[in-house]
């Protein structure tokens, strides 16, 4: 469907000029169907209203507990259900976590994200995580964790320890979700997000594309995120990294320009959020990443590894930033 042929009017200021929480499915789908140049023009215009267009926030990510997860997320090498050859590791000692945080800071990261492969953490785990958060904060970094589903009490404890952000992705549209995960529901995800908000934490929440979903699903994911009572402060958009042994290995690759369109629609629908290029950057050319920045991406994960998959080395990122005249945003630079 092309936007010009649809009954949705995308020309009015209501669509592009304000923060909205009432996106209709047809409007989101019509954004994806705009001519590429129009979509990028609108996205870049919205981006310039709210952000310095040449500044990119940089986060660093560390897997603090790897593998042996009881969930069945079809994209994930950390699920105990798939044989991917990934070594299983228990919760990392505090001193090793803080050593990695120091290195991340030296390389220019402003936020340090720690990921643990759990369905949900135990209370005794939370106390160890809180020590990590306190240590990361003492280094002058923002702290983010992703630990799975949380109770009210755990969420409050993390906030008390000084946590800035909690990451919990919706992954895909509500309709496509059961194709990807069967061990927890979409509503479980939304409930955890609500708890995180109630505790006063910032939310990092996005999804993954390239999992065989349609444009409708990509639009559906963004509609869910944009219609939350408050937009997530960070919206990571991941490109599926296909890992041998997971059910999604061998999925047809996503057209790179569809990925760029997804970034542009994210920028338009959540104008004040940091839109983050996350997993899958290793497979992206510099030119594709440049288009993503033009479409409104303004955050990246930086460093050699994401949770378990590769990430462009820091030097390649620095070269790309120089070529594009981009700067790394300072600490606490989020709008």
Among 79, 167, 202, 234, binds ligand SF4 (CB under 6 A): 79
Is residue 76 at the binding interface for ligand SF4, with CB under 6 A as the rule? yes
* Minimum CB–partner distance for residue 116 and ligand SF4 (Å): 8
Contacts with ligand SF4 in 135-194 (CB under 6 A)? Answer: 148
Is 276 known to be catalytic? yes
Is residue 283 at the binding interface for ligand SF4, with CB under 6 A as the rule? no
E strand segments, 154-283? 165-167, 202-204, 207-209, 234-239, 274-277
* Minimum CB–partner distance for residue 115 and ligand SF4 (Å): 8
Count the neighbouring beta carbons within 10 Å of the beta carbon of residue 179: 16
Contacts with ligand SF4 in 80-119 (CB under 6 A)? Answer: 117
Residue 321 CB partners (closer than 8 Å, separation 6+): 56, 327, 328
The whole-angstrom separation of Cα 292 and Cα 177 is 25
Contacts with ligand SF4 in 26-55 (CB under 6 A)? Answer: none
Stretch that binds ligand SF4, among 74-82, 84-92, 125-133, 234-242 (CB under 6 A): 74-82
Which listed residue (274, 276, 281, 292) is catalytic? Answer: 276
Instruction: Give the total of residues touching ligand SF4 (CB under 6 A).
Output: 8
Is 130 known to be catalytic? no
* Minimum CB–partner distance for residue 224 and ligand SF4 (Å): 18
* Minimum CB–partner distance for residue 157 and ligand SF4 (Å): 20
Stretch that binds ligand SF4, among 23-31, 66-74, 230-238, 297-305 (CB under 6 A): 66-74
Angle at which helices 256-269 and 36-50 pack, to 10 degrees?
40
Residue 122 CB partners (closer than 8 Å, separation 6+): none
The whole-angstrom separation of Cα 269 and Cα 261 is 12
The whole-angstrom separation of Cα 192 and Cα 189 is 5
* Per-residue buried b or exposed e for 38-68, using 16+ beta carbons within 10 Å of the residue's own CB: ebbebbbebbeebbeeeebbbbbbbbbbbbe
DSSP 25: H
Is residue 66 at the binding interface for ligand SF4, with CB under 6 A as the rule? no
The whole-angstrom separation of Cα 90 and Cα 6 is 52
DSSP labels for 101-151? HHHHHHTT-SEEEEEE--SS--HHHHHHHHHHHHHHHHTT-EEEEE-SS--
Which listed residue (73, 130, 205, 292) is catalytic? Answer: 73
Among 58, 69, 114, 284, binds ligand SF4 (CB under 6 A): 69
Which listed residue (111, 113, 189, 267) is catalytic? Answer: 113
The whole-angstrom separation of Cα 124 and Cα 244 is 33
Which listed residue (111, 128, 130, 144) is catalytic? Answer: 144
Question: Which of residues 9 and 178 has its CB atom nearest to ligand SF4 in the complex?
Answer: 178
Count the neighbouring beta carbons within 10 Å of the beta carbon of residue 138: 11
Among 28, 62, 73, 136, binds ligand SF4 (CB under 6 A): 73
Dihedral sign (CA 170, 263, 303, 282): positive
Is 73 known to be catalytic? yes
Is residue 78 at the binding interface for ligand SF4, with CB under 6 A as the rule? yes
Among 27, 29, 71, 317, binds ligand SF4 (CB under 6 A): 71
Query: Catalytic site residues?
Result: 69, 73, 76, 113, 144, 204, 276
User: Where along the sequence are the contacts to ligand SF4 (CB under 6 A)?
Assistant: 69, 71, 73, 76, 78-79, 117, 148
């Amino acid at each position: 469907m092309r936007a010009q042929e649809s009954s949705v009017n995308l020309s009015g200021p209501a669509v592009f000029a304000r923060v909205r929480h009432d996106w209709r499915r047809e409007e989101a789908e019509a954004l994806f169907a705009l001519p590429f140049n129009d979509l990028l023009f609108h996205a870049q215009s919205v981006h310039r209203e709210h952000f310095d267009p040449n500044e990119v926030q940089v986060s660093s990510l560390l897997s603090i507990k790897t593998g042996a997860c009881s969930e069945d997320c079809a994209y994930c090498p950390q699920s105990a259900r798939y044989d991917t050859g990934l070594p299983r590791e228990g919760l990392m000692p505090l001193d090793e976590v803080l050593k990695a945080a120091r290195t991340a800071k030296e390389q220019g990261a402003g936020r340090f994200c720690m990921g643990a492969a759990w369905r949900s953490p135990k209370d005794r785990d939370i106390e160890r995580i809180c020590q990590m958060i306190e240590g990361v904060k003492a280094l002058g970094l923002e702290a983010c964790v992703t630990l799975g589903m949380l109770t009210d009490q755990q969420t409050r404890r993390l906030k008390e320890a000084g946590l800035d952000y909690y990451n919990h992705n919706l992954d895909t549209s509500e309709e496509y979700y059961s194709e990807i995960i069967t061990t927890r529901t979409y509503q479980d995800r939304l409930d955890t997000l609500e708890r995180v908000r109630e505790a006063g934490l910032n939310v990092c929440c996005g999804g993954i594309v390239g999992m065989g979903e349609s444009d409708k699903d990509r639009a559906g994911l963004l509609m869910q995120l944009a219609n939350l009572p408050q937009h997530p402060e960070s919206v990571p958009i991941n490109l599926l990294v296909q890992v041998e042994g997971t059910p999604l290995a061998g999925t047809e690759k996503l057209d790179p320009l569809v990925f760029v369109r997804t970034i542009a629609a994210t920028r338009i629908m959540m104008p004040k959020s940091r839109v983050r290029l996350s997993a899958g950057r290793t497979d992206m050319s510099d030119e594709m990443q440049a288009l993503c920045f033009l479409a409104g991406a303004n955050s990246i994960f930086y460093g050699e590894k994401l949770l378990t998959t590769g990430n462009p080395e820091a030097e390649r990122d620095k070269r790309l930033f120089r070529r594009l005249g981009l700067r790394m945003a300072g600490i606490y630079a989020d709008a």
